[in-house]
Amino acid sequence: MLRTLKVPLKRYCSRHFQKDLMSGLTVGVISLPLAMAFAIAAGVKPEYGIYTTIIAAVLASLFGGSRYQVTGPTGAFIPILLSIVLIHGYENLLLAGLLAGVILVVMGLLKMGTLIKFIPRPVTIGFTAGIAINIFTGQIANFLGLTEVHGHEGFVDSMRDILIHLDTINPYSVLTAVVCLALILLTPRFLPKIPGSLVGLLATTALATLVYPGQVATISTTFGGIPGTLPQFSFPVITIDKLEQLARPAFTIAMLGAIESLLSAVVADGMTGTRHNSNRELIGQGIANIVTPLFGGIPATGAIARTATNIKSGAVTRYSVILSALFVLATLLVLAPYAGAIPLASMAPVLMLVAYNMSEHHAFIAILKTRSNSASVLVVTFLLTVLANLTVAVEVGLLLAMVIFVKRMSEILVVTKVLPNPENHLTKVAAQDRMDTHDCPQISIFSIEGPLFFGAAQMFSQSIMDTIQYSPKIVVLRLSKVPFMDLTGEDHLRTIVNSLQKRGMMVLISGLNEQPEKILNMTGLAETIGKDRFFEHTEHAIAYALEHVNKDSCLRCRERIFEGCISKSAVVTADDVPA
């Protein structure tokens, strides 16, 4: 047993460890300043972001479904976390994160990983852009060094507070922020392998400490420094009242975390040619968010930028993420006292650039240019994210997207009265422009195309009942192009069948697909219609109908609609001819 373990370990150390180590160090260097910045922006102490980076990264890597996924605090969470802290406090933020983790695990166990992918793009772009605006504007006060500016849940209140205190601008803070921003932007050009954010933070920290000490707010002066100790275990107090208050915020955290994690996993798949397990990834993210709050950490999710960096840096296995977490842990234990000297003004441009990069402004503008319903969903979701909160924005955005989807699907359903085409005499069934001069008085044929569900069922029944202006003896319903039928569609079909049968008409069904057939058998409508009145092809239904028409009426008819009107021979329809 020991020998079999030693061989894979030796093979890993010789082949992959060096690559994973270099990638882990690179990701760790990037993750450390972001962890502190995201925690501060969310209204909590910077060390809580570091704890999250360490614990969540390890657990999500071990239990998740993506080999290269880097998990930690992200900018997308900032507005919702800040809102929870301002309203419910830090302790309840921990409970909300734990509840979100439970929700994610349940989603994974219920195999809901694939469903997240069906959230419309205008909704995700809308709330992502709104989050970016909130992050960017939330850092204006630190960028300018304003004093007496307090955090607010609403965008309008925050901007009003900033405008009121503009006279408190600190020129040293502005200088620090501008220098840091310049270094972040210039470093990739001259030193592409070194993170610009790290260079900016180190250089401006040295600048503020040596050139104008005590003139700008730092992590130490604001939060009392960063303790260089391991996080302590503490289980949050759970009550029914807290669960009721935090249910919606926890659900929003879970949904946002699921969306961002799976998007990040998809990006990783595209870069590496691998394939992640979406349900396992949800479970891994859930476990990470359940355990992390127990040690004071904030909610975490898969980070697209850090995951991409992990891959570009040469990561081979999921151990690269674990190594990055160990690097952050070692840095916390060794360099924590020095991190307290970092100016808040240096953190501001880091977060502002994060907001700019996550805004997806190109996609936002492209959707707006379409001037479609999708653009409306985008704008509504964006405005609600900025002016209200993320929970309301996601709920309303999904509701609008669903309504628009149902409307579009209902418009897909087409109900057409068809007859043999006189131009191609008696060889195919085709739509007719004028039924008043070329019609069969005894047989009516309707072709239904599209899903027959609750959004289209009313139009389906009205189209058929309004089109039948007389009382034919037989009505043929061609359902070969109905891929799906729900119970509402079945109910409207039942209403049509009962109405026609009460008027003495026979109903025949042709080309019924598997799913609608199961519905009709389950509800008993197939028995009501008659098992012998279902046909695989329209030609068989027409042949059956010709055998049950009034022969005397056929002899008096001058139209001769069907090839078998006299000879009773079968009609081969165009859609029934094999390709």
pLDDT tens digits, 486-497: 998 899 899 989
- Chain-centroid distance of CA 325 in Å reads 27
Residue 153: pLDDT band (50, 70, 90) is: low
Nearest to 393 by CA among 134, 579, 218, 149: 134
- Strands 414-420 and 71-72, how do they pair? unpaired
Average per-residue pLDDT for the chain = 85
The two tokens of residue 528 are: 């009501």
Name the pLDDT band for 430 (thresholds 50, 70, 90). very low
Q: Is the pLDDT of residue 226 over 80?
A: yes
For residue 575, pLDDT beyond 70 = no
Kindly report which listed range (143-157, 317-331, 371-385) carries the lowest average pLDDT score. 143-157
Cβ-in-10-Å burial (0-12, 13-18, 19+) of 178 comes to: middle
From the list 162, 202, 171, the residue with the least C-alpha distance to 184 is 202
pLDDT at 8 over 90: no
Q: Are 223 and 73 in contact (CB under 8 A)?
A: no
Burial of 522: CB neighbours in 10 Å, binned 0-12, 13-18, 19+: exposed
Top-confidence residue, 243 or 151: 243
> Could you please report the per-residue DSSP string of 472-497?
-SEEEEEEEE---B-HHHHHHHHHHH
Angle between the 344-358 and 196-210 helix axes, to the nearest 10 degrees? 160
Task: Note the pLDDT of residue 64.
Answer: 93
**Could you tell me if 238 and 376 are in contact, meaning their C-beta atoms sit under 8 angstroms apart?**
no
Least confident of 78-82, 400-404, 432-436, 443-447: 432-436
Average of pLDDT values for 333-346? 89
CB-based burial label for 174 (10 Å; 0-12, 13-18, 19+): middle
Q: Measuring CA to CA, which residue among 377, 357, 353 is closest to residue 367? A: 377
Instruction: Determine the pLDDT at residue 10.
Output: 64
* Rounded distance between C-alpha atoms, residue 398 and residue 414, angstroms: 27
Answer yes or no: is pLDDT of 432 > 90. Answer: no
Distances from the Cα of 458 to the Cα of 304, 453, 462, 521, 523, angstroms? 45, 9, 6, 22, 19
Highest-pLDDT range among 349-363, 413-427, 551-565: 349-363
pLDDT surpassing 60 at residue 576: no
Closest-CA residue to 478 (of 502, 448, 520): 448
Q: State how far Cα 141 lies from the chain centre.
A: 32
List the single range of 21-35, 61-75, 162-176 with lowest mean pLDDT.
21-35
Q: Which two tokens stand for residue 309?
A: 């960096």
Mean pLDDT of 140-152: 86
Model confidence pLDDT, tens digit, residues 476-529:
999 999 999 999 889 989 998 998 898 888 999 999 999 999 999 999 999 999
CA angle 179, 185, 189 (to 5 degrees): 125
Sign of CA dihedral 529, 531, 533, 536: positive
| 33-56 pLDDT per residue, tens | 889 989 998 999 999 999 999 999
Band of the pLDDT at 245, cuts 50, 70, 90? very high
In Å, what is the CA distance from 498 to each residue of 53, 468, 471, 507, 530?
A: 64, 15, 14, 10, 12
Query: 389 vs 433, which has greater pLDDT?
Result: 389
Phi–psi pair at 262, nearest 5 degrees: -70, -35
- All structural domains of the chain: 13-137+150-223+238-403 (no CATH), 413-576 (3.30.750.24)
Does position 151 have pLDDT exceeding 80, yes or no? no
Q: What is the pLDDT of residues 346-385, one digit of tens each?
A: 989 988 988 888 888 898 999 999 888 889 989 999 999 8
Q: What is the band of 466 on the pLDDT scale with cuts at 50, 70, 90?
A: confident
Query: Hey, what amino acid is at 367?
Result: I
Place of tokens 């029914």: 240
Lowest mean pLDDT among 119-133, 463-477, 554-568: 554-568
- The arithmetic mean of pLDDT across residues 254-271, rounded, is 86
Is residue 3 over pLDDT 50?
A: no
Predicted confidence (pLDDT) at residue 156 exceeds the cutoff of 50: yes
- Contact by Cβ (8 Å): 236, 95: yes
Position 574 pLDDT exceeds 60: no
Q: Out of 359-373, 414-428, 435-449, which region has the weakest mean confidence (pLDDT)?
A: 414-428
Say whether pLDDT at 569 is over 50: no
At residue 316, φ and ψ (nearest 5 deg) are -115, -40
375 within 8 A of 368, measured Cβ to Cβ: yes
- Global pTM exceeds 0.85: no
Helical H segments across 224-360, by residue range: 240-272, 278-291, 304-312, 319-339, 344-358
Question: What's the average model confidence in pLDDT over 449-471?
Answer: 78
Does the structure show a pLDDT above 50 at 152? yes
Q: Quote the CA–CA distance of 227 and 46 in Å, as a whole number.
A: 10
* Cα 503 to Cα 212, 329, 497, 532, distances in angstroms: 94, 80, 10, 20
Percent of the chain with pLDDT strictly greater than 70: 89
Write the burial class of residue 578 (CB in 10 Å: 0-12 exposed, 13-18 middle, 19+ buried): exposed
| DSSP, residue by residue, 143-164 | HHT-SS----SSHHHHHHHHHH
Q: What is residue 94's predicted lDDT score, i.e. its pLDDT?
A: 95
Identify whether the C-beta of residue 322 lies closer than 8 Å to the C-beta of residue 70.
no
Q: What's the burial of 233, exposed, middle or buried (CB within 10 Å: 0-12/13-18/19+)?
A: exposed
How far apart CA 354 and CA 356 sit, in angstroms, is 5
What single DSSP character describes residue 461? Answer: H
Model confidence band, residue 469 (pLDDT cutoffs 50, 70, 90): low
Q: What is the predicted pLDDT for the residue at 117? A: 67
Instruction: Give the number of C-alpha atoms closer than 13 A to the C-alpha of residue 525, restricted to the C-beta side.
Output: 22
Mean pLDDT of 201-224: 92
- Spatial CA neighbour of 289 closest among 56, 32, 35: 56
